[in-house]
Amino acid sequence: MKKILEIALGIVTSVGGFLEIGSIATAAQAGSDFSLQLIWAIVLGGICIIFLVEQAGRFAAVSGRTIPDAIRERFGFNYFAFLYLVLVLVSLIVLAAEIGGVCIALELATGFHFSLWAIPVALVVWLVIWKGTFGIIEKGVSILGLVTLSFVVGAYLINPPWSQVAQSALPSLPQHNSIHYWFIAVSILGATISPYLYFFYSSGAIEDEWNEGYIGINRIIATGGMSFGSIISIAVLILAAMIFAPQGVKFEHYSQLPTLLTPVFGYWGYWLIVASIGIACLGAAMEITLEIAYLTAQGFGWNWSENQRPLDEARFSVAYMIAILIGMLPILIGIDPLTLTIFGMALTAATLPVSIVPFLFLMNDYSYVRVYRNGWLSNAVVLVIIGLAFVLAVVAIPLQIFGGS
């Protein structure tokens, strides 16, 4: 009974913690610009993140180490320094986008410009991490994040052509604007296969003191949580495809988001959107902030744990304070959160091999995971998908920025 509860809670927290501003923005843009056609990108990213999260949990449970810990040990400081710079840079952009997401929700709720909310939101993120425990952040915020299931209810009630939804789960070539199509596909892959998700998950497994007995539970949580999470992203895409695309509306600003749920839920749809964006982005902002601090402390061997007093881990605490401060700045000076989000997600996709390739080496190293090493399927699925994301990113990002045709 205890295990069933643990699995249920694990899946609920994974679902609640899955959706963030990147998934919402990229899915909404995909739906408005290409109708249902890009569902395959979410499916592909979802399959990859299921494998990666399962591997991150298995690695922590068997080796007793987090991923940064083992990468520093196995590949040395020079590679770790490179990975650290890349991951922190990308994570700070994504953190800024998430803080921007919360600010947008507050702008929608109050009418005050999003940049005015940057400092209060940063303070809330800091305060919850400062005073809260890992359990509060992981479970509390994620359970509140279940409000994002309103997208799934909305997508069901709007009654899309289900056969076309199913067909779109398979990749297809664009009919028009092919550079933008591939750029959005890359952004979706970056938003879905977020390194912070599996890095945070592996740190969480250590915080929760997982051991080999958790391997089965981990598999169910990773598969269930990430699958349901992907379904929420698909629901956002369906809503955008059914509401924006037929009217020729381009998704260019977050203020357009409430119109995704108001046709289904009326007045309450507006507030469901505000709550969904606000809570999902607040949870993601906290997780990314912690991930940056975990990465720093684990890589340099400092004391770290969200369950300890800040006084007992001063450098860890300073690391997350600096991350929040830097992450808040782009929003404070008024950089458009949507632009930041879309490019942040594309950049994430382009840098995936930097963290995933060494991780795959670790997952095949007997001295770390013993008999629980990856099979050929686990290796192949992750390698093919991140390879595809990388190639698409390297081709599509410059073309999108410099306007190729």
Partner 1 sequence: MDLMRDCLDKQLEDGNKRRMGRVDGIILDIEDGRQPHVAYIEVGVKTLMNRLSPRLASLATEPYRIAWGKVKVGLNKVVADVEAEETPALEWELWLRKKVIGRIPGA
Helix (H, G, I), strand (E, B) or coil at 91: helix
Query: Which residues have a Cβ under 8 Å from the Cβ of 44 and sit 6 or more positions away?
Result: 171, 189, 385, 388
Minimum distance of partner 1 from residue 77's CB (angstroms): 5
Residue 136 host element (H or E): none
Minimum distance of partner 1 from residue 346's CB (angstroms): 29
314 binds partner 1 (CB under 8 A): yes
**Amino acid letter at 65?**
R
Residue from the set 302, 335, 365, 395 that interacts with partner 1 by CB under 8 A: 302
Minimum distance of partner 1 from residue 322's CB (angstroms): 11
User: Which single residue is written with the structure tokens 């929003």?
Assistant: 331
Residue from the set 14, 26, 51, 65 that interacts with partner 1 by CB under 8 A: 65
315 binds partner 1 (CB under 8 A): yes
User: Which single residue is written with the structure tokens 């080496």?
Assistant: 361
301 binds partner 1 (CB under 8 A): yes
Residue from the set 81, 85, 325, 401 that interacts with partner 1 by CB under 8 A: 81
Stretch binding partner 1 (CB under 8 A), from 6-14, 66-74, 114-122, 165-173: 66-74
- Judged by beta carbon, residue 58 or residue 65, the one nearer partner 1 is 65
Residue from the set 1, 5, 173, 311 that interacts with partner 1 by CB under 8 A: 311
- Judged by beta carbon, residue 2 or residue 309, the one nearer partner 1 is 309
Q: How would you classify residue 171: left for phi > 0, otherwise alpha for psi between -120 and 50, otherwise beta?
A: beta
131 binds partner 1 (CB under 8 A): yes
Residue from the set 135, 258, 310, 353 that interacts with partner 1 by CB under 8 A: 310
As a residue count, the chain comes to: 405
Three-state SS for 288-352 is HHHHHHHHHHHHHCCCCCCCCCHHHHHHHHHHHHHHHHHHHHHHHCCCCHHHHHHHHHHHHHHHH
Helix/strand/coil percent split, the chain, to 5: 85, 0, 15
Q: What one-character DSSP code corresponds to residue 158?
A: T
Stretch binding partner 1 (CB under 8 A), from 25-33, 74-82, 189-197, 380-388: 74-82
Residue from the set 20, 33, 69, 98 that interacts with partner 1 by CB under 8 A: 69
Which residues sit at the interface with partner 1, rule CB under 8 A? 64-65, 69, 72-73, 76-78, 80-81, 130-131, 300-304, 309-311, 314-315, 317-318
